[in-house]
Structure 1
Amino acid sequence: MAETDRTDGPQAARPAPPTGTWRDWATDRALRSAIALCLALPLRLRLRLMGAFVTRVIAPLAGYRKRTLRNLAHVWRDLPEPEARALADRVADNAGRTMIENYDVLGLRDRMTGATPVGEGVAAMEAAREEGRPILFVTGHYGNFEAPRALLVSRGWQVGGLYRPMKNAFFNAHYAANMARLSGPVFEQGRRGTMGLVKHLKAGGHGVLLFDIYSGRGVPIDFLGKPAPTLTSAAEIALRTGALMIPFFGIRQPDGQSFVAEFDAPIPHGDPVEMMRAATAALEARIQADPGQWFWIHRRWKPERQARRQRKRAAASTSP
């Protein structure tokens, strides 16, 4: 997906090339080569190798395994250590599979062709589509969050959304282009991107937002029994545009490569915080059913930072 720019000159303006350090460029080239090599392999082998590579190499080196274990200890203190370590391996394996799957979005679309969406929200979303009413699908980093979108695209839907840009500008250039290959429009996270998504929804479009990322500007909402700052922007966008707000989840099946796409009943419009509590509860239910499919590698709670913020607020409230 690309927008057309109007110019007075003989040639349309082109996006500025990405900039960064030579290390950024070298890292990007290495990642591109690894991705290309992996995509040349048969699907089952590709997924197994990427899952194993992230589990045994990337997760220990990048600190993902340590972070997963720390998050598990934060919310489930009584989880035995052997179970926590086994769960951390499953998390890394799913992350590796998801990464390479989402670099073959058209292949993922083809794999979802013929699958049937399930859940209480299916009838409501089909009716909204017929009426031309916008729909905002919300989800978390669970299973493969692109699988339900790929299923909808395979059935003729156009589903856009926001994406979080990568720090490496060279890598981000093809990462964003890859996301748009499945369906658009795709907007970069930020004020401008949010306005683009709002405009898209107001025109009767469909979009996706992932809400399970820490934000210091978020409202503390209990997530797996611990407060997690959560942005209410998804609910606010739904209210502003009149969009149905439907949680969906791509649940990986035991074979490691197929998915069930579940669509929950629409979250009733009302107080934005309560709407996000409902979305959070939908994600919690999936995690309780199969915790190995959620991306525990994220810094979702940041309890130390939350404690510092609370101390600062308390000090400010008592100062003369």
Structure 2
Amino acid sequence: MPKARTEDEIGWTDRLANAAFLAVMGLARVLPYQHRIPLVGWFFSRILGPVAGWSRRARENLALAMPELPEAERVRIARGALDNAGRSMAEIYSGDEFTARIRDTDPLSGPGVSALQEAAEHDRPVILGCAHFGNYDAMRAALAARGWPVGALYRPMNNPAFNAHYIPAIRAIAEPIFPRGRSGFAAMLKFLRGGGMLALGFDQFVHDGTRLQFFGLPSRTVLTPAELALRYDALLVPIAGVRQPDGLGFRVEVGAPIAHSTPEEMMQALNDDLERQIRARPDQWFWVHRRWKKRDR
């Protein structure tokens, strides 16, 4: 893992990008919540996404995974995915307002809710299979509102100036959170062994991952969530914070626990479940990820 840069080592481009982000969020926070969230979504989809090249990359990935779609539909989905990403970022920085809305609606649903309840009552470890779909933090807020111990592994951003406020923002939604790295991983395992519910992402390309199928294409997938579930007799549960049609509310869908078998079979089941979710609501997944590397295809 690259060594974190110190304050003196932050480049001017990182400082400029961070200042621009803070300016947008500062302007948005002046607005009421119901206007703030769509404003940042609009900024991501109409300004930041095209300038950063995210819109083009999202369309390219859509053409690869769903070639049957017409170009106009790929443009619409890509724009919606960036709008969702912007809304999610605004929600993270809305702190108490965001978590209060989740707490007041208690949005947990699906066949896996009873399994989570039983696991919490018996201190059984749980691995929550998460993706960049809808809003990942809606799930953490919903479980924490039930009083269940939910933790998450996170990757610090490359821009240390951004980390200075981003990490406290995600920590405010629910704790504990664990940074990738030796010390963070050790604390994460201790939390899991103690009966915690640990959120782990699985929807990004991993260079040393196993080649599994995603949208009928080979993509290297991390096996860690399944391996930890097998090692610690933990439930492996797919979960997603699905954005509702009003653009502000959520339904946190908890899937049935995945049967223990081999790590490859279990992670393929998570890939299949995520693909089902994406095909139903394609504009809620972050299509900007380089999920399919050319050399693997």
Task: Please state which band the TM-score falls in when normalised by the shorter chain.
Answer: over 0.9
Query: Which residue is equivalent to 1:170?
Result: 161
Query: Which residue is equivalent to 2:51?
Result: 61
Output aligned runs, 1:271-282, within 5 Å. 271-282=262-273
Output aligned runs, 1:207-226, within 5 Å. 207-226=198-217
State which of 23, 28, 38 in structure 2 corresponds to 1:33.
23
Superposed CA deviations along residues 148-177 of structure 1, whole A, max 9, x for unmatched, are: 211111222231111111100111122112
State which of 223, 226, 238 in structure 2 corresponds to 1:232.
223
Question: In the TM superposition, what is the alpha-carbon distance from 1:32 to its structure 2 partner?
Answer: 2.1
Q: Which moved more, 1:247-256 or 1:231-240?
A: 231-240
Structure 1 residues 174 and 285, CA gap change in structure 2 (3 angstroms) = same
Output aligned runs, 1:127-142, within 5 Å. 127-142=118-133
State the secondary structure of the residue aligned to 1:255.
Answer: coil
In structure 1, C-alpha distance between the alignment counterparts of 2:107 and 2:52, rounded to whole Å: 37
Question: In the TM superposition, what is the alpha-carbon distance from 1:213 to its structure 2 partner?
Answer: 0.7
Question: In the TM superposition, what is the alpha-carbon distance from 1:191 to its structure 2 partner?
Answer: 3.8
In structure 1, C-alpha distance between the alignment counterparts of 2:292 and 2:60, rounded to whole Å: 11
Kindly provide the amino acid, as one letter, of the partner of residue 196 in structure 1: A
In structure 1, C-alpha distance between the alignment counterparts of 2:99 and 2:225, rounded to whole Å: 25
State the secondary structure of the residue aligned to 1:165.
Answer: coil
Q: What's the C-alpha RMSD, in Å, of the aligned pairs?
A: 1.6
Output aligned runs, 1:238-317, within 5 Å. 238-302=229-293, 304-307=294-297
Query: Which residue is equivalent to 2:94?
Result: 104
State which of 95, 101, 104 in structure 1 corresponds to 2:85.
95
Does the 8 A contact of 2:211 with 2:221 survive in 1? yes
Superposed CA deviations along residues 45-69 of structure 1, whole A, max 9, x for unmatched, are: 1122111111111111101110011
State the secondary structure of the residue aligned to 1:306.
Answer: coil
Does the 8 A contact of 1:54 with 1:96 survive in 2? yes
Query: Which residue is equivalent to 1:24?
Result: 14
Kindly provide the amino acid, as one letter, of the partner of residue 244 in structure 1: L
Query: Which residue is equivalent to 1:44?
Result: 34
Does the 8 A contact of 2:7 with 2:160 survive in 1? no
- Whether 1:189 aligns to 2:180 is yes
Question: In the TM superposition, what is the alpha-carbon distance from 1:125 to its structure 2 partner?
Answer: 0.7
Question: In the TM superposition, what is the alpha-carbon distance from 1:19 to its structure 2 partner?
Answer: 4.2
Does the 8 A contact of 1:246 with 1:267 survive in 2? yes
State the secondary structure of the residue aligned to 1:54.
Answer: helix
Question: In the TM superposition, what is the alpha-carbon distance from 1:70 to its structure 2 partner?
Answer: 0.5
Kindly provide the amino acid, as one letter, of the partner of residue 204 in structure 2: I
Does the 8 A contact of 1:18 with 1:169 survive in 2? no
| Pairs aligned (count) | 291
Structure 1 unaligned regions, length at least 5: 1-15, 308-320
State which of 106, 109, 113 in structure 2 corresponds to 1:115.
106
In structure 2, C-alpha distance between the alignment counterparts of 1:110 and 1:226, rounded to whole Å: 40
Does the 8 A contact of 1:105 with 1:150 survive in 2? no
In structure 2, C-alpha distance between the alignment counterparts of 1:141 and 1:112, rounded to whole Å: 18
In structure 2, C-alpha distance between the alignment counterparts of 1:65 and 1:30, rounded to whole Å: 19
Question: In the TM superposition, what is the alpha-carbon distance from 1:138 to its structure 2 partner?
Answer: 1.1
Q: With structure 2 as the length reference, what TM-score do the two structures score?
A: 0.93
Kindly provide the amino acid, as one letter, of the partner of residue 152 in structure 1: L
Q: With structure 1 as the length reference, what TM-score do the two structures score?
A: 0.87
Structure with bigger gyration radius? 1
Identity %: 41
Structure 2 unaligned regions, length at least 5: 1-5
Question: In the TM superposition, what is the alpha-carbon distance from 1:270 to its structure 2 partner?
Answer: 2.1
In structure 2, C-alpha distance between the alignment counterparts of 1:105 and 1:206, rounded to whole Å: 21
